[in-house]
Amino acid sequence: MARESESGLPIEPVYGPDALNDWDAAEKLGEPGAYPFTRGVYPTMYTGRPWTMRQYAGFGTATESNARYRDLIAHGTMGLSVAFDLPTQMGHDSDAPIAHGEVGKVGVAIDSVDDMRVLFGGIPLDKVSTSMTINAPAALLLLLYQLVAEEQGVSADQLTGTIQNDVLKEYIARGTYIFPPKPSLRLIADIFKYCKAEIPKWNTISISGYHMAEAGASPAQEIAFTLADGIEYVRTAVAAGMDVDDFAPRLSFFFVARTTILEEVAKFRAARRIWARVMRDEFGAKNPKSLMLRFHTQTAGVQLTAQQPEVNLVRVAVQGLAAVLGGTQSLHTNSFDEAIALPTDKSARLALRTQQVLAYETDVTATVDPFAGSYVIEKMTDDVEAAALELMRKVEDLGGAVSAIEHGFQKSEIERSAYRIAQETDSGERVVVGVNRFQLDEEEPYEPLRVDPAIEAQQAERLAKLRAERDQGAVDSALDALRKAAEGEANVLYPMKEALLARATVGEVCNALRGVWGTYVPSDAF
C-alpha cells in the first residue's frame, strides 16, 4: 500500500541506488561541518558533547518561574528557555484592561526590570545560556535581561542566549504582533546593530517554523516559509547598511520535531542545504558561519493528546530522537501533560530525563551522522528540498515574505494543510493512538497544575508600588527620547534601555512606540 509523507510526498516501500539518479554526493552531501552542511554544521557534532538541553518554562509570577528554573538547573538543564504570558508577548502591562484573565497563564508575567530581577535571582547569567520566546517586544526583554546581568556584575559581552524576535511568523501563524511589518523590520535591524556593538555573543533572532507547524504546516511548508522569512530579515539588515558577515553568524532557527522520524531528519538536512546555498549565492556571504543553519528544536505540542496522556511520553521520546538524528543544536522536550495544563515539576523533570536517556544511554551520539548514505533519507531530503524550493519561489513571485503575507499566501497554504490533517484524523486514515483508535472506555483521573488567579491582583499591586516609588519625570523624559528616536533613524534600543532603567514598564514602552508606528490590523479583520 502506497504511503505519503506529512508533506504529501510519496514514500516507497523500498529504496535503492536507482532512487538517487543524477545524484552528486559532493554537491548535495559534503562532509559534516562543511558546505552545504547537509550532514550537520559541526565536524564532530555530538561525538564531542551533546546538544544543549534547553527546557522551556515560565508560568505565574517571576518568583514561581525562578523556582522552576533553579530546579531544572539542579537536575541537569544546560540552558533556560523562558515562556512569557500573553500580555507580555503583546506589550501590555498586567494591570491593563486587555490583560484581564491572561496574566501568568501561558508563561511568566514580566512588567518591568523589577520582575526580571526576580525571575533571574540567584542564577549566574555569565554561566547560563538563556533563550527567550518573545517577538514583537523582543528588544525590551533583551534589554531587561542585560540590565539584570549588569546588576549582577556581568558585562553584556559575556551574555549568551537567544531572543526569538521573529515577528513575520506572527503575521502568518500566531498573532502576537504589535506594530506593522515595516517598523517591525526596522526594530529587528536595530537589534542586530545593537547586539553587534553591545552583546556580541547573543543570537539576535530565532527564525521560527515551529509555530507554523503547530498551526498545521507540513514539513516542506515549515522550512519553506521559515527560510523565506530569514531571507527577508537578511535583506532588511543589508538594506540598513550592515555587511552580511557581520550579523549572519548570529542568526538561528527554530523548528518542530514530529513523530515521523524519517521525514523530519530529511527536513532538517534539506533546510541546512537550502540556507547554505542562499547565503552563498544570493548574499555573497564569505564567513562559513554565515552559511550554517543552526537551530533549536521543540517536540511537537500539537501531536500531544489529552486522552491517555502517558502515551505522550512515547511520542516525545520519538520526536526528540528525530531532532537528534536531524542534527539539532539544542532541544526542548515537551512534558507529557501539556495537552491538559501547565507541566508539573515531575512531568518537567521526566521531559528532561528523556533527553538525558537519548544523550547518555543510546548510541546515537557515537557517530556524527547516523543516517548518511541511507537511500530513503537522501531521496526524501531531495523531495522535501524540491517541494520547499517551489514554495519559496511562489513567495518570491509575490514580492517576498512581507508581500506574500499581505496576500495571505502562507496563511492560506498552512490552513489547507491543517484541514487535510483534520480530515484524515476524523476519517481514521491518520491514526492517533488513544483518540481515534485504541481508546479507553474511561480515562484515568489526572490532577494538573493550575495557575493561581490571584496573580493578576498581585502584579497590579507590584505595578502600583513601582509607579509610586520611581522618578516619574525621569520616565517621561526617557519615553520622550524613545519617541524621537522612533520618529527618526536613530537606533531605538539605546533610549529604550534608558527608559527601562528608569523603571518604565513594558506596556509604557510599547505604547510609546505604538504612538509613533501604529498597530497592525490584518487585512482579513476588515
The residue written with cell numbers 494591570 in the block is 95
- DSSP code of residue 37: -
Q: List, for residues 84-132, the tens digit of each pLDDT value.
A: 999 999 999 999 999 999 999 989 999 999 999 999 999 999 999 999 9
Q: Is the pLDDT of residue 503 over 90?
A: yes
Give the amino acid at 336: F
Instruction: Name residues whose C-beta falls within 8 Å of residue 15's C-beta, 6 or more positions apart in sequence.
Output: 375, 376, 379
Number of H helices, E strands in the chain: 21, 11
Query: How far is it, in rounded angstroms, from Cα 276 to Cα 407?
Result: 28
| Phi, psi of 87, rounded to the nearest 5 degrees | -55, -40
Over the stretch 315-342, which tens digit does the pLDDT of each residue have?
999 999 999 999 999 999 999 999 998 8
Q: What are the pLDDT digits (tens) for 137-190? A: 999 999 999 999 999 999 999 999 999 999 999 999 989 999 999 999 999 999
Side chain identity at residue 254, one-letter code: F
343-355 burial, b for 16+ CB within 10 Å, e for fewer? Answer: bbeebbbbbbebb
Output the pLDDT for position 72: 86
H-run or E-run covering 213 = helix 210-214
Residues 65-78 have a mean pLDDT of 88
pLDDT of the residue at 524: 60
Which sequence spans correspond to the domains of the chain?
36-427, 455-521
For the domain made up of 36-427, the CATH class stated in words is alpha beta
What's the rounded Cα separation, in Å, for the pair 205 and 415?
26
